[in-house]
Amino acid sequence: MYVKIKNFILELFFPSFCLNCQKLGHLLCKNCYNDLKFYFSQNKIQEIKSNLKVIYFDDLQIMAKFEGSLAKLIKALKYQDSKNIAPLLSKMLWRHLIVPQVDFITFIPLHPYKLRARGYNQCQEIALEFGRLANTPVKNLLERTKNIKAQAKIKNQQERLQRMQNTFQIRSKYKDLIKNKTIILIDDVLTTGATLNAASKTLKDSGAKAIFGLIVASKNE
């Protein structure tokens, strides 16, 4: 009861509005939702094959193109301290992708410096709600081994791919857990696929049976 009243008061004074067009109501209004360019569960591995020498994940689904209202939502989630956007993106993923049954759900980790600055990992937030919807445990399996230049600042694709190698390692407490497991790996934005591939390689090297990449948005066509 108390929570209900508190939520009501919060909504009264801080109502939600569409982050794209400011319309009062939901974080994403119907019009702006209809603007999204969904990919409808196509397997997108072919499209990034030319970027990667070896592909370590088994399937790749991307929800929609990184543009317009979806790009705004993701940027707000990452840079404007808007954690409340994550469950909305999780529900959209759940609704728009064909979700395989797996042993675990995991996500691309942030470097600890970034995590401290941001206060949360947006991919973890998306994964947590997604795990509730899929009724599957979410595990923080991976960690970054070293800081790398922000992706956006690296223009040279070769440099980006090289830096990506050995970026991730399995958290020591999960080392024995991964063998023969099937895992969904969640990331928010895909560009070359190098990040997803490096994380998948780390999981496969530890004996993971299959990795299914689920991505919210792609910067490619």
For Zn ion, the binding residues (CB under 5 A) are 18, 20-21, 23, 29, 32
Looking at residue 144, the DSSP 8-state letter turns out to be E
Nearer Cβ to Zn ion, position 36 or 196? 36
d(CA 201, CA 60): 14
Nearer Cβ to Zn ion, position 27 or 86? 27
Nearer Cβ to Zn ion, position 23 or 111? 23
Classify the phi-psi angles of 40: left when phi > 0, otherwise alpha if psi is within -120 to 50, otherwise beta: left
Instruction: Provide, rounded to whole angstroms, the least separation between the CB of residue 190 and Zn ion.
Output: 24
Instruction: Provide, rounded to whole angstroms, the least separation between the CB of residue 33 and Zn ion.
Output: 8
What lies within 8 Å, CB to CB, of 11 at 6+ separation is none
Instruction: Provide, rounded to whole angstroms, the least separation between the CB of residue 24 and Zn ion.
Output: 10
Task: Looking at 35-110, list the stretches that DSSP marks H as alpha helix, in order from N- to C-terminal side.
Answer: 45-48, 68-79, 86-96
Instruction: Provide, rounded to whole angstroms, the least separation between the CB of residue 64 and Zn ion.
Output: 15
Looking at residue 192, the DSSP 8-state letter turns out to be S
Nearer Cβ to Zn ion, position 26 or 114? 26
